[in-house]
A = this chain, B = another copy of it.
């Protein structure tokens, strides 16, 4: 018998992707599925691609329903995780795909989210220094945001190697599923197809402090981050184009070596061969971050690009990767590096 697993927020995009992965995972056994306003309806009404689970009825998201599972994945709006976690007890592994426990700095949290800080849980990005040890020892995981996953993995080797100045400019394009299943006028198909547009410009996006937190921790100093997200006419995928000022004297060879070394042993972060650049389609449904890097000598900047599937490595796949560690399972179990393409 498998590890009893519940998914709260099963009718949303993150919840659907969790279920797609869990269904193919050898150790998890899918238990309670819950929803908010969709409680009482069949999963198939919301996730018609999950054929084998289509007839499952969604329960309400309550501690009683979620109790009795070994693992609970939370894919909920901000602010609901803290109370649920407390009620479920310390023995249950809780993997929160929401933002509530990502930021360590209460001031940053309050500035960007406008509510009291709930605290911070071990951060589910195993590629960060020390993260695997923390994840193996915890029953609480804060899954990173999708943009921070891509940006951090694009620039991590540069800051680890000490070859980048703390002056970062990022422009990232995301597929529309990053906005969730929201009924907003600018998200309907007629508006997004054939169009690119920015949002949260000028540092307003809530993922900005999370990116700064990750890079700053590695750099050992405050990293200035200019972050502009854009909406791209595709359902999935993030392409993060990240530049950092290069330390004086940096050579292309040293840069490449830093990246090759950093990711040589990583199962889900890969430096592509020289001359190949990532495309988001390469990662569709895969848990991989594909990275490439160049040195712009004229501009004096490192340009690193990462492509991920925002719902897989950027959310649900990353969540399962960290959960595998917390449960003592092989980190790669149930996850693939092979995308669905073309």
Smallest Cβ-Cβ distance to A277: which chain B residue = B198
Of all chain B residues, the one with the shortest Cβ separation from A300 is B224
- A115 CB to nearest B CB, Å: 20
Interface residues on A, range: 35 or more
Q: A169-B243, A228-B303 are in contact. Are A342 and B203 (CB under 8 A)?
A: no
User: Cβ of A199: which chain B residues have Cβ within 8 Å of it?
Assistant: 277
State whether A51 touches B286 (Cβ < 8 A): yes
The reply to whether A24 and B336 form a contact with Cβ atoms under 8 Å apart is yes
Which residue from B173, B196, B230, B276 sits with its C-beta under 8 Å from A48? B276
Name the CB-closest residue of B to A228: B241
Which residues from chain B contact A225 at a C-beta distance below 8 Å? 298-299
Please state the number of chain copies in the assembly.
Answer: 4
| Contact, CB under 8 Å: A183 / B185 | yes
Across the interface, do B198 and A305 meet the contact criterion of CB distance under 8 Å? yes
Interface residue? A114 (CB, 8 A): no
Complex CA gap A199/B278 in Å reads 9
Q: Which candidate, A63-71, A74-82, A89-97, A231-239, is the interface stretch facing chain B? A: A231-239
Neighbouring B residues of A175 by C-beta, 8 Å: 190, 194
User: Which B residues touch A20, using CB under 8 A?
Assistant: 338, 340
A203 shortest CB reach to chain B, Å: 4
Chain B residues closer than 8 Å to A297, beta-carbon distance:
203
From B51, B189, B226, B273, A187 is in contact (CB under 8 Å) with B189
| A interface with B by C-beta (< 8 Å) | 13, 16, 20, 23-24, 44, 47-52, 54, 169, 171, 173, 175-177, 179, 181-185, 187-199, 201-203, 208, 224-228, 230, 232-237, 239, 241, 243, 270, 272-273, 276-286, 288, 290, 292, 294-301, 303, 305, 307, 336-342
Enumerate 28 A-B pairs (CB-CB under 8 Å) in ascending A order: A20-B340, A44-B273, A48-B279, A49-B286, A51-B270, A51-B290, A169-B243, A175-B190, A177-B342, A189-B233, A192-B193, A193-B193, A194-B236, A195-B237, A195-B282, A196-B232, A196-B239, A197-B279, A197-B280, A198-B239, A198-B305, A201-B277, A201-B294, A201-B296, A202-B294, A208-B298, A230-B241, A284-B340
